[in-house]
Each structure stands twice: as C-alpha cells, then as structure tokens.
Amino acid sequence: YHTLRLILGDQLNANHSWFKQKSDDTVYMIAEIKQEATYVKHHIQKIGAFFLAMTEFANALKNAGHQVIHLTLDETQNFDNFTQLIASYSKQLKISKFEYQRPDEYRLADEFNLLNFDSNITKKMYETEHFLLPFEQINQEIEENKHQTMEVFYRKMRKRFNILMDGNKPLHGKWNFDQANRNKLKKQDLPDLPTPLIFNNDISGILLRIKKYKIETIGTSGNNLLWPVNRKQAKALLKHFCQSCLAQFGHFQDAMTCQSDKKWSLYHSRLSFALNTKMLHPLQVIQAVLKKYHAQLTQPPEIDIAQVEGFIRQIIGWREYIRAIYWRNMPKYITHNQLAAKRDLPEMYWHAKTKMKCMSEAIQQSLDTAYAHHIQRLMVTGNFALLVGVEPKQIHQWYLAIYIDAIEWVELPNTLGMSQYADGGLIATKPYTSSGNYINKMSDYCANCQYDVKQTLSEKACPFNSLYWNFIAQHQVKFKHNHRMSMMNNLWYKKSQQEQAQIMLHAKGLLQNINNL
Ligand code: FAD
Ligand code: SF4
C-alpha cells in the first residue's frame, strides 16, 4: 500500500471526503486497542458500543469497495498505544504516507503530533468535517481564559447557518424560548411518555474479549446493546425522536421521574452517541428536526417553536460552544480547581446504594444504561458532588467513564466548568447548586424518598438542604461580588447565628457520614 489512513472510534463519518474515491493504494485502519479501552474504567456498554460501531463501519467501508484493516484486541494486544501500532503497521505495509483525521481529544491530538516517521514516510492530518465551527476559527470566536456566554455564540451560529431566521431577525421574534419550557411531569403525563427506541445489537463477542484481556469496566450489560451502532440505526433513532419526542422535548427537558418504568429517556433524543461518533452530522439532525417542524405547521401546530428552538440550541449552541471552550483552554483547563475541592468521590457513585432517591435513581440508571439526561447529570449527581466538594479530577473521571457519549472534549467542560465551577466561571456565571427544593420542583423523586425535602436539620432532613447552605457559607467571600449569588448570600446572612451554626453542624455530620447517606 501507498497510504495508511487511521480512523478513530469516534470518527465514523461515512460522508467524509476520504471515502468519495476508492483506491487500491489506500488502506484504512480501524483498531480496537487497549489504550482506548483503559484510559478510564469505562462503562461496559460504552466499550461495547464503540467497538461494535467500529466493526460496522469497517464492514460498511469494505462493502463499498475500500481496502480495510479491522483489528480487534486479539490482534493489537501487544501494542500499548497508537504510536506502537502505527509504527509496526507502517513498516509491515511499506507505506509512504500516513494520514489521520484531527482527533477531538487533546490526549490523542498530542500523541499524533508527536508521531515520528523515517524520512520516507510523510504524515498528514485532515479535518473530521463534522463540526459546524471550523477548528481554525475557534480562536476567533472564543477568548482564552475568559467567560463568554453561550447565548452570544449561539446567536452568531444561528445567523451564520441561517437556522430559524427571518432575514436578520430570529424567527418568531425571539432567540430563546426557554421560558415556555421546563415543566414537571405530572402523574397524568406519564402514560403519554414515548417508549424508547432500543436496538438489540449483539455484543457477546466483544464482551468475551473484554473478559479475555481483563479490561476493567463499570456498569452492567447483557449480550444485547440498546445503542445505535450504524448509520441506519442512528437515522432510525433520529426519526423516532422527530416523531415521538420533539413535540414535548422542551416542555419536559428538565423533568425527572422515578415512575416511568421502561420509558426512562423521557422526551430526550439519546442522539449524543451517534453524534459524538460522527455517525450523524449535526446539520443532518437539525435538518430532520426542521423538516418535521415545517411539515406540521397547521393551526395550532403540533410542535411549537419553543420545542424546536430549544433542541436546536443544544446542537448548534451548547455542543459547538463546549467544544470551542475545550480547545481554546486545553491543556490547562483540566487542572482547574477554583473552589479547592478535594474530597474523594463518595462510593455511592459506583454502586447507587444510597437512601437519597434522586441520587440512587440517577446513578442506577447510569449503571444500567450508560445514560442519564442533562438535568440528572447537572442538578443531581453534579450538584451533590459540588455541594460536598469532590475533587474535580475525580468527578470528571466518573463522568468520562460512565456515559455512552463521554468523550473528553465534551465531557470535561460540562463537568469541570458547567457542573463544578472548577474553571472559575469560564462557562457558568454562577455555580449550578441547589437545595432539595429544585429537585422537588422538577421531579417526583422527593415524594418517593426516605428523606424529607421540607426539612433541613432533623435526622430525616434532605441532605441537599443543609449541604446547600453550607456551600453558600463556605464560599460567601468568593461570590461576594457575583450578583447572581447575592440573593442566596443575603438569605444566609439573614439567618440568626444560632441557625447558621445548627445548619453547619448538621452539614458537618452528613459529610463525616457521607457513605451512609
Ligand atoms: P438531548 O437532551 O436530546 O439533547 C440533544 C443533543 O444536544 C445531545 O445529544 C447533545 O449532542 C447536545 N447537547 C445537549 N446539551 C449539551 C451540552 N451541555 N454539551 C454538549 N452537547 C449538548 N454530553 C456529551 O455528549 N458527552 C458527555 O460526556 C457529556 N458529559 C456531561 C457531563 C455533565 C456533568 C453534564 C452536566 C452534561 C454532560 N453532557 C455530555 C451534556 C448532556 O448532558 C448530554 O449531551 C445529553 O444528556 C445527551 O443526551 P441526549 O442525546 O438524550 O440529549
Ligand atoms: Fe433527593 Fe432530598 Fe428529594 Fe430525597 S428529599 S430525593 S435526597 S432532593
């Protein structure tokens, strides 16, 4: 072969310009490798999903007439990393060109930057052709180490790609319709929840390899994987979302329930794995949503603008913005610990055994499905970690491990920045903390919990309550000038000294007993 082209597990983009032409001189390599299966202790479904999606992609390329080397752990067991693997195969195949696509993670970008070949082999990097904001424009859009709101970025993206625009103005006069969204699910809403579209992908062969090579994992998995592993399935999931979830997406975006039985993903799309592996392109997702929206513009429309805008904002706003923050601020970003948090991650995060219903539900669902929706991540598990002061690196590694969609470029800013305020406010204008009150407002967890969300000091009191005030008290000086925190700071100052002391004492007791909550 003349050229070896490496395809990473999250580069399964069949529409990439690489594949427009076929050449017998070019061979594509897709490789399962221990390095990628062990850089954190991943959820077993996550490894299953990546490895199977890679197999499917390799087969699709072969069927389309490309030359493909697909390696499993059986063939790569002696290579510690990509550097060794590529060096060995370059020699074996006697190539003169090594080509790869820009890695989304700093870790791999760094490794490939450092790849050195003999003078007779040239190295070339291509763009992945996936993201809407070109990589080289990130520096123009985002300033290093400086807070920039997502909303400003989002509006620019709307204009630039002419999405939901009426000339130069936002369609229906507003950029953001969040106000119309965010309801709690009531009992009468539950029967209408859509049944999740799940797939029965056989991963038994991969599970055997995971066992054979002693790859440590978390979570559970049967032989059948529910996640989409090829374009056909990814498109089916997108269609399912447009048909069965979009009309209520925004209304119940922040809602949580423990009464939904098998309808665990509510109105969320669960497209993050298909998007992050690039099986789907963000514009493809947006176009499908817009098509559905325009096809039903009767009076009154079944799907209103708030649902569509709310969803599109996640894709062209949050997703692209988070990636830009990551690349603008790495590698320093990962070291931030603005609130000097240093507690070890409580054990409940690994086994879900806790009397706190919200935590046990969010963690158990994550262990069972490798999925939790945004508010479960942000306002339950993330909120708790922030209130008790978990070291950012440890909670980052937990999120990176457990979720099907967790790749560092998207997971890290969400965790360190949005959820833990460890970056000192590059993403969030204030820490995303709350007492039990918010969780009670958005869910039915509290009604099914052994703790009492209305109490703060008794033995039965919801732990989130005193921990919340304890957090406010602990960081009051730091947030003295943050006007978004001033209301809570003032409420704390208004409490009598005696009450403050009681709350702090109660919180201290909880923190000392954290593994028994
Ligand atoms: P939906 O609710 O249906 O949203 C649609 C799509 O919008 C998602 O598929 C996703 O691509 C995009 N999106 C929504 N919110 C965000 C966001 N904040 N950042 C980036 N994209 C977003 N998302 C990941 O893809 N990988 C992660 O590792 C990840 N880690 C997170 C960790 C924490 C602590 C938090 C608070 C959020 C994290 N998110 C992550 C963002 C978000 O929670 C997930 O994208 C979402 O829950 C995926 O489920 P869904 O596809 O059903 O999303
Ligand atoms: Fe969670 Fe507190 Fe509600 Fe229990 S009472 S579910 S611990 S918020």
Could you tell me the residue ranges of all domains in the chain? 3-126, 135-200+230-329, 348-516
* Ligand with an atom nearest the CA of residue 445: 2
Q: How far does residue 415's CA lie from ligand 1's centre (Å)?
A: 11
Smallest CA separation from ligand 2 atom 3, residue: 446
The answer, yes or no, to whether residue 300 has pLDDT greater than 80, is no
Q: How far does residue 358's CA lie from ligand 2's centre (Å)?
A: 6
DSSP structure string for 112-133: HHT----TT-EEEEE--S--SS
> How much is the average pLDDT of 267-292?
98
How many whole angstroms from its chain centre is CA 459? 35
Q: Give tens-digit pLDDT for 15-60.
A: 999 999 999 999 999 999 999 999 999 999 999 999 999 999 999 9
* Minimum-distance ligand 1 atom for the alpha carbon of 372: 47
pLDDT of residue 15: 98
Would you state the pLDDT for residue 386?
98
Is pLDDT at 181 greater than 90 in this prediction?
A: no
For residue 143, give both structure tokens.
């300033």
User: What average pLDDT does this structure show over 263-272?
Assistant: 97
d(CA 315, ligand 1 centre) in Å = 9
Q: What is the mean pLDDT of residues 274-284?
A: 98
Pick the atom of ligand 2 nearest to 462's CA: 2
Q: What is the mean pLDDT of residues 405-410?
A: 98
- What letters, b where the CB count within 10 A reaches 16 and e where it falls short, cover 347-383? ebbbebebebbbbbbbbbbbbbbbbbbbbbbbbbbbb
Extract the tokens encoding 407: 């790749």
Would you state the pLDDT for residue 437?
97
User: Could you give the ipTM of this predicted complex?
Assistant: 0.99
pLDDT at residue 121 tops 90: yes
Which has more confidence, 325 or 182? 325
Q: Which atom of ligand 2 is nearest to the CA of 356?
A: 7
Cα of 374 from ligand 1 centre, angstroms? 6
The identity of residue 211, as a single letter, is K
Closest CA to 76 of 109, 45, 102, 51: 51
299 pLDDT more than 90: no
Indicate which residue's Cα is closest to atom 2 of ligand 2: 462
**Residue whose entry in the numeric block shows the structure tokens 């195969």:** 89
Residue whose CA lies nearest to ligand 1 atom number 28: 406
The answer to whether the CB of 357 is under 6 A from ligand 2 is yes
For ligand 2, say whether the CB of 193 is within 6 Å of any of its atoms. no
Residue range 3-126 in CATH 3.90.700.10: no
Treating both helix axes as pointing N-terminal to C-terminal, what angle do 320-329 and 150-160 enclose, rounded to 10 degrees? Answer: 120
Query: Model confidence at 356, in pLDDT bands (50, 70, 90)?
Result: very high
Q: For 362-391, what is each residue's pLDDT tens digit?
A: 999 999 999 999 999 999 999 999 999 999
End-to-end CA distance of the chain: 60
Residue located via tokens 């491990």: 401
Average pLDDT of the chain? 96
Which of the 8 DSSP states describes residue 196? P
The residue whose C-alpha atom lies closest to atom 1 belonging to ligand 2 is 358
Contact in structure between 485 and 493 (CB atoms under 8 Å)? no
Cβ < 6 A, ligand 1 pocket: 268-272, 275-276, 314-315, 318-319, 322, 373-374, 377-378, 382, 399, 403, 405-406, 410-411, 414-415, 418-419
Residue 126 has φ and ψ, to the nearest 5°, of -115, 160
Q: Which of 257, 355, 357 to mutate to test the pocket of ligand 2 (most atoms within 8 A of CB)?
A: 357
Is the dihedral angle over the CA atoms 337, 342, 344, 346 positive or is it negative? negative
User: Over 90: is that where the pLDDT of 296 sits?
Assistant: no
Residue 216 has a CB neighbour count (10 Å cut-off) of: 11
Q: What is the pTM assigned to this prediction? A: 0.97
Q: Taking residues 492-496, what's their average pLDDT?
A: 96
| Residue 392, H or E segment | helix 392-402
Pairing type for strands 169-170 and 165-166 reads antiparallel
What is the fold of 135-200+230-329?
1.25.40
- Ligand 1 midpoint to CA 321 (Å): 12
Q: What is the distance in A from the centroid of ligand 1 to the CA of 97?
A: 37
Closest atom, ligand 1, to C-alpha of 395 = 34
pLDDT 10s digits, 70-120: 999 999 999 999 999 999 999 999 999 999 999 999 999 999 999 998 888
Q: pLDDT tens digits, residue range 421-479?
A: 999 999 999 999 999 999 999 999 999 999 999 999 999 999 999 999 999 999 999 99
> CA–CA separation, 121 vs 113, rounded Å?
15
What is the rounded distance in angstroms from the CA atom of residue 293 to the CA atom of residue 246?
9
Instruction: Give the list of residues 6+ apart from residue 312 with CB closer than 8 angstroms, or none.
Output: 163, 164, 286, 289, 290
Distance (Å) from CA 274 to ligand 1 centroid: 12
Of the chain, the percentage scoring pLDDT greater than 90 comes to 96
Q: How far apart are CA 398 and CA 420, in angstroms?
A: 13
Ligand 2 close to Cβ of residue 462 (< 6 A) = yes
- Whether domain 348-516 has CATH 3.40.50.720: the reply is no
Q: Where are the beta strands (DSSP E) in 363-462?
A: none
Token reading at 136: 């080289």
Task: Give the number of the atom of ligand 2 that is nearest the alpha carbon of residue 357.
Answer: 6
